[in-house]
């Protein structure tokens, strides 16, 4: 399989989880897009809350595309209850503008509405890249996550959840699903509402041949990207009993695998590391985390063996 580092094209920086005044954000869509473009992003998906309270918006951001900046249509879908009784939050990027509403009048489950699994499957069938949003913030159980069979990805870092509740993580759920054989990718996002410093803190770097919605969406579905808070991943390759990692200057490189297996390499301003697999050698999947001197991280997608 072609990965993000050997695929043709170049990396484009994007945020996949963003809100505007079409739901509970404080900036209009045009200003949200302007700010991300000014910050050096190549693309964003405006994913306002797809509920009746806001008129089930799929924001039309096509007017804000321009030279060097594009948008993907999307929404944060809500329908059905998780085990804790709260409403599902599911990211859908690449939705058609006329995606049919379900029955979700507000931020609470109601009897008779479609399940989270059902709306996720409907979004995937409509062509969207589907991700399980902020598992830790949502109080998601493993059983909940197992049920979203249409998901392409898990949101493993959510900057808004980090800033607003210190519940940014999705790796616990993601690693358990990987160990069960689910071939999921891992995304970092802002979940920006611009009500607090919840923006420009986590993003994806997507490898595509052009900065165009169709090419970006295909690359996302194929897993040709990595997630980051700033550090760059430049190459990851299995080489016998070790993983070779190339990156921007970091102080830690970690290979993680099934269960508690992990091997770390520490140093100063490392741009290359050869990490022995050790206990990770028995795992069917591996992933890589790098950490820079400021504590910022980048995360690879899983590597299947």
Mean pLDDT of 242-268: 98
Return d(Cα 157, Cα 294) in angstroms, integer.
17
* Contact (CB, 8 A) for 78 and 40: no
Q: How confident is the model at residue 2 (pLDDT cuts 50, 70, 90)?
A: low
pLDDT at res. 72:
98
Say how far residue 212 (Cα) sits from the centre of its chain.
18
pLDDT at 12 over 50: yes
* Contact (CB, 8 A) for 241 and 248: no
24's enclosing H/E stretch is none
pLDDT at res. 15:
98
What sign does the dihedral 93-99-101-102 (CA atoms) show?
negative
Mean pLDDT of 68-80: 98
* Contact (CB, 8 A) for 190 and 199: yes
pLDDT at res. 1:
46
Distances (CA, A) of 10 to 13, 86, 104, 207: 10, 40, 39, 5
35-47 pLDDT, tens per residue? Answer: 999 999 999 999 9
Which residue shows structure tokens 């990965």?
3
Q: Count the neighbouring beta carbons within 10 Å of the beta carbon of residue 166.
A: 10
Predicted structure pTM score: 0.97
């Amino acid at each position: 399989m072609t990965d993000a580092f050997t695929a043709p094209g170049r990396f484009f920086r994007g945020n996949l989880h963003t809100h505007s005044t079409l739901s509970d954000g404080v900036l209009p869509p045009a200003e949200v897009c302007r700010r991300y473009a000014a910050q050096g992003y190549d693309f964003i998906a405006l994913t306002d809350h797809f509920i009746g309270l806001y008129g089930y918006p799929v924001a039309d951001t096509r007017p804000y595309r321009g030279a060097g900046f594009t948008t993907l249509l999307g929404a944060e879908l809500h329908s059905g209850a998780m085990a804790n009784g709260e409403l599902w939050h599911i990211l859908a990027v690449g939705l058609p503008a006329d995606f049919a509403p379900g029955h979700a009048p507000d931020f609470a489950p109601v009897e008779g509405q479609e399940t989270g699994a059902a709306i996720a499957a409907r979004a995937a069938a409509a062509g969207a890249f589907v991700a399980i949003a902020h598992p830790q913030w949502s109080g998601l159980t493993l059983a909940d996550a197992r049920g979203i069979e249409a998901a392409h990805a898990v949101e493993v870092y959510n900057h808004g959840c980090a800033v607003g509740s210190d519940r940014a993580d999705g790796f616990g759920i993601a690693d358990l699903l990987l160990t069960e054989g689910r071939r999921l990718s891992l995304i970092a996002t802002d979940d920006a509402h611009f009500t607090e410093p919840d923006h420009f803190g986590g993003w994806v770097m997507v490898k595509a041949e052009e900065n165009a919605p169709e090419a970006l969406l295909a690359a996302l579905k194929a897993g040709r990207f990595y997630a980051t808070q700033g550090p760059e991943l430049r190459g990851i390759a299995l080489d016998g009993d070790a993983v070779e990692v190339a990156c921007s200057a970091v102080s830690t490189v970690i290979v993680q695998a099934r269960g508690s297996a992990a091997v770390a390499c520490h140093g100063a301003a490392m741009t290359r590391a050869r990490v022995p697999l050790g206990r990770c050698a028995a795992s069917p999947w591996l992933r890589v985390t790098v950490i820079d001197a400021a504590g910022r991280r980048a995360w690879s997608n899983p590597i299947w063996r």
